[in-house]
Amino acid sequence: MNANIFHHRYRYLFILLLAGYSYLNILFTSGDQLLDISLAKWQFFTLILLVVILVWEINRWLWNQVNSRSALISSRLTSLVPYFLLSLVNVLFSSAAVVYGATLWQGETFADNLSLLKLALAFAFRINLFLHTVNAIVYFNSKLRDSRLEAERLKTVSAESQFEALRNQINPHFLFNSFNVLTELVHKDAEVASEFIQQLSKVYRYLLYNQERDTVSLKAEMEFVEAFIFLLRIRFGESITIQTNLSEEQLESYDIPPAAVQLPVENAIKHNIVSRKKPLTIEIFVENDHLVISNNLQRRQTYIESGGLGLQNIQQRFTYLTQQKVQIEENDTHFVVRLPLVKKAVA
């Protein structure tokens, strides 16, 4: 629930102070005399206090109702708008209820106290407007504070994710395997070895140049992935098949966090058998505004420790970019990761 004044822990003190201020204000401006209201001062103060209590407490109840149904309200319409409209009904009810109670206590009819009703309505509308103005300030300050905290959290998560992506590439095993492959290629095929070095440099260059960006184009990301795939194909040969099926229109229409695709591919290799007898097949394609990375499931028998921080960081980064969530599915034959794509704004 968002912050609001009506749920403040010192609200009853505020109610008393507000009633006292309003009472003195009406006396100094002779508001009661203008409408020819003959009530003892303590009765008049009690009437004002009851109006403030009802307006405040019913507004507090209405806030709970509006927030519980906020999912039904258009995202373009802040919940403060229907909340204020409902509060106007609250003003009418609270004023009428207090005046009706006063007529019963005095043994009069409701018609005899129309002047009192007018004063109660004028006072209640003013109090309600004041409270909602203050509440709007509190509400939007809270939203601003939350957005700033989310921005700071995004920076932290982004930094963690960047570190995770770099760590996945620059860890000793990756470098050891890359240098082993490169050593063999230098003796067997100098041309392929040269291409291997170029693609390896593309991988590191992409990670270093984009580590501080929230998103990159899907096209740029897939160019990075192609360089990464080249290294994998040289290393694993026919033991791995990676199929990418994306149109030029799809590549130009979406953005995605940098290195978001590389991580599921790396995890698929890390946790599955990759051999000629059991080749690993990874498919990458777009479906329903999601980038799907799917691999056939053939778990390694030996356990490989994984804290799951990589996928967790990717999930958190997507939370700040889109309302869609990263979807992870697993069945008897396949492991599937669905990354929500961010549509580019139309120029």
pLDDT at 73: 47
Note down the domain range covering 72. Answer: 5-151
Same domain, 218 and 321: yes
Q: Count how many domains the chain has.
A: 2
Assigned token pair, 187 = 């003796």
pLDDT at 60: 84
Contacts 24+ apart (CB under 8 A), 315-324: 316/157, 316/161, 317/154, 317/157, 317/158, 317/161, 317/214, 317/257, 317/260, 318/257, 318/260, 320/150, 320/153, 320/154, 320/157, 320/214, 321/214, 321/215, 321/257, 324/289, 324/290
Assigned token pair, 250 = 């799809």
pLDDT at 155: 73
Same domain, 141 and 283: no
Compute CA distances 245 → 222, 284, 291, 300, whole Å: 11, 6, 10, 27
Assigned token pair, 275 = 């051999």
Same domain, 239 and 116: no
Same domain, 258 and 203: yes
Tell me how far apart the alpha carbons of residues 95 and 91 are, in angstroms, rounded to a whole number.
6
pLDDT at 151: 79
In a domain, residue 323? The reply is yes
Question: pTM score, two decimals?
Answer: 0.52
Assigned token pair, 138 = 């509190």
In a domain, residue 162? The reply is no
Assigned token pair, 160 = 């963690």
Same domain, 92 and 187: no
Query: What tens-digit pLDDT sequence spans the chain (347 residues)?
Result: 456 777 778 888 888 888 887 777 777 766 555 455 566 677 778 888 888 888 888 888 887 777 666 544 444 445 677 778 888 888 888 888 888 887 777 666 666 667 777 878 877 888 888 888 888 888 788 888 888 888 787 777 766 666 565 555 545 566 677 778 888 888 788 888 888 888 888 888 887 888 778 889 999 999 999 998 898 888 898 899 999 999 999 999 999 988 888 888 888 988 899 999 999 999 999 999 999 999 999 988 765 555 455 667 677 777 777 878 899 999 989 999 999 998 886 65
Name the residue with tokens 């697993």. Answer: 330
Q: Do 317 and 269 contact (CB within 8 A), yes or no?
A: no
In a domain, residue 123? The reply is yes
Measured from the Cβ of residue 14, the count of other Cβ atoms closer than 10 Å reads: 16
